[in-house]
């Protein structure tokens, strides 16, 4: 069949017709819960030796999808990447040690590196990602994520390889270590990067004092599903990652940001050692989470970030306070969770 002669009201009618049909992208959020989006465009559909790779356009704008899972989307990638990067690098500066060297595990979209390179003090940013094809695809189709501007930056070093192996073998130390890797799902490759053993090793790779470790930590809704009366556990890994880091680091600071394209609030976890002479670890955590004033953060942004506050879309002093103020429901979830993730006893997220 084929089109022949368009009638007068063709345009108007065709729009109605198009509204009735769809290419769609449907993604699991939890068992029995899915996000469904219109699939407006497909920019790229291919695969690497590690995964299926798609670049599509949905409600959330251009989106990188690997193995059917949203990695980051135009609408809110800035929220994810700013949340992952700036609290840690500014924490380092807050302690009087503006970060010079940063390690990124994963980070294929290059946007994590983009945010790291905004920091004037950073002299070296090493990123180790196993999938060179993802990086190529992002450079071509998602240049706003960082692309060529990042890879051609002299302070940036890209290693195509296994981040776990690289970390285990390197003798280098870093001021900040950022884990921008897939969730600890059973099918996922990064499960070893969410273990006590890895965190113990990572601690040895941090310059002290001032060194900060941060990892994305999966879904962390303000109202955890575990609250529901007939569910004894939730399907997130926010609690186990929290406990596991606590078993290694002096201070662990969980925080979260709403990332609509990820289906809700998203969790992050910073970990660092208490400064020499500061014995009250809870106080150290609290002084960072809720500084005397939001202006403390805003001042750090002006000092550290090239271009200052204008360059950031999500993060500032007020946002900082919100990000670190977990709800009572989410704090209760963290309190109740006693699991520790090890090589022999991993915990899988849905």
Query: Which residues inside 150-189 make contact with a second copy, applying CB under 8 A?
Result: 162-165, 180-183, 185-189
Member of 98, 106, 239, 291 binding a second copy (CB under 8 A):
106
Q: Which of residues 16-45 bind a second copy (CB under 8 A)?
A: 16-18, 20-28, 30-42, 45
Of 95, 86, 50, residue with least CA distance to 208: 95
Q: Is the distance from CB of 175 to CB of 210 less than 8 angstroms?
A: yes
Q: Which is nearer to a second copy, 42 or 208 (CB)?
A: 42
Asked if residue 304 binds a second copy (CB under 8 A), the reply is no
Least CB distance from residue 131 to a second copy, whole Å? 5
Tell which one of 200, 228, 335, 345 touches a second copy (CB under 8 A).
Answer: 228
Contacts (CB under 8 A) with a second copy, residues 41-60: 41-42, 45, 50-52, 54, 56, 58-60
> Residue 185 CB, nearest distance to a second copy (Å)?
7
Q: 159: which strand partners?
A: 128
Tell me if 139 sits within 8 A of 156, measured CB to CB: no
Q: Residue 185: helix, strand or coil by DSSP?
A: strand
Instruction: Out of 87, 99, 105, 211, point to the residue binding a second copy (CB under 8 A).
Output: 105
Give the three-class secondary structure for 315: coil
How many chain residues are in contact with a second copy, going by CB under 8 A? 114
Could you tell me the two tokens for 115? 């945010």
**DSSP, res 186:** T
Q: In the bound complex, what is the minimum distance in angstroms from residue 120's beta carbon to a second copy? A: 21
Site for a second copy contains 299 (CB under 8 A): no
Footprint of a second copy on residues 264-293 (CB under 8 A)? 264-265, 290
Shortest distance (Å) from residue 97 CB to a second copy: 26
Give whichever of 61 and 209 is closer to a second copy, judged by the CB atom. Answer: 61
Beta-carbon contacts of 148 under 8 Å, excluding residues fewer than 6 positions away, are 139
User: For residues 190-219, which are near a second copy according to CB under 8 A?
Assistant: 190-193, 216
Residue closer to a second copy (CB basis): 209 or 260: 260
73-102 residues in contact with a second copy (CB under 8 A) are 74-76, 78-79
Distance CA 229, CA 28 (A): 22
Q: Are 218 and 236 in contact (CB under 8 A)?
A: yes
Q: Please report, to the nearest 10 degrees, the dihedral formed by the alpha carbons of residues 26, 41, 106, 327 taken in order.
A: -50
Of 13, 140, 335, 336, which one interacts with a second copy (CB under 8 A)?
13
Q: Which of 180, 221, 234, 298 is catalytic?
A: 180
Rounded to a whole number of angstroms, the minimum distance from the CB of residue 283 to a second copy is 14
CB of 204 to a second copy, least distance (A): 19
Q: How far apart are CA 222 and CA 54, in angstroms?
A: 30
The contacts of residue 106 (CB under 8 Å, 6+ apart) are 112, 128, 129, 163, 179, 180, 181, 182, 190
Three-class SS of residue 215?
strand
- Is 38 considered catalytic here? no
For every residue of 235-285, DSSP letters joined together read S-SHHHHHHHHHTT-SEEEEEEEEEGGGTEEEEEEEEEPPPTT---HHHHH
Q: Is 308 in the site for a second copy (CB under 8 A)?
A: no
Catalytic residues: 180
């Amino acid at each position: 069949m084929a089109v022949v002669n368009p009638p007068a009201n063709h345009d108007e009618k065709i729009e109605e017709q198009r509204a009735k049909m769809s290419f769609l992208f449907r993604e699991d959020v939890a068992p029995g819960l899915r996000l469904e989006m219109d699939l407006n465009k497909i920019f790229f559909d291919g695969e690497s030796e590690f995964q299926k790779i798609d670049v599509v356009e949905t409600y959330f704008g251009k989106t990188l999808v690997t193995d059917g899972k949203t990695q980051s989307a135009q609408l809110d990638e800035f929220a994810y990447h700013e949340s992952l990067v700036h609290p840690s690098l500014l924490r380092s500066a807050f302690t009087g040690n503006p970060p010079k060297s940063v390690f990124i595990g994963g980070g294929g979209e290059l946007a994590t590196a983009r945010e790291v390179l905004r920091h004037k003090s950073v002299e070296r940013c090493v990123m180790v990602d196993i999938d060179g094809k993802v990086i190529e695809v992002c450079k071509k189709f998602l240049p706003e994520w960082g692309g060529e501007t990042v890879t051609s930056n002299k302070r940036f070093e890209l290693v195509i390889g296994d981040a776990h192996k690289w970390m285990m073998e390197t003798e280098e130390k870093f001021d900040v270590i950022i884990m921008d890797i897939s969730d600890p799902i059973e099918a996922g490759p990064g499960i070893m990067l969410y273990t006590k053993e890895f965190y113990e090793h990572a601690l040895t790779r941090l310059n002290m004092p001032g060194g900060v470790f941060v990892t994305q930590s999966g879904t962390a809704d303000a109202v955890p599903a575990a609250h529901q009366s007939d569910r004894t556990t939730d399907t997130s890994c926010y609690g186990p990652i929290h406990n596991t880091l606590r078993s290694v680091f002096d201070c662990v600071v969980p925080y979260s940001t709403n990332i609509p394209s990820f289906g809700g609030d998203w969790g992050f976890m910073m970990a660092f050692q208490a400064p020499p002479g500061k014995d009250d670890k809870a106080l150290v955590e609290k002084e960072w989470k809720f500084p005397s004033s939001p202006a403390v953060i805003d001042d750090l942004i002006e000092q550290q970030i090239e271009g200052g506050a204008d360059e950031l879309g999500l993060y500032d002093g007020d946002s900082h306070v919100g990000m670190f103020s977990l709800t009572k429901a989410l704090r209760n979830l963290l309190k109740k969770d006693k699991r520790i993730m090890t090589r022999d006893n991993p915990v899988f997220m849905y």
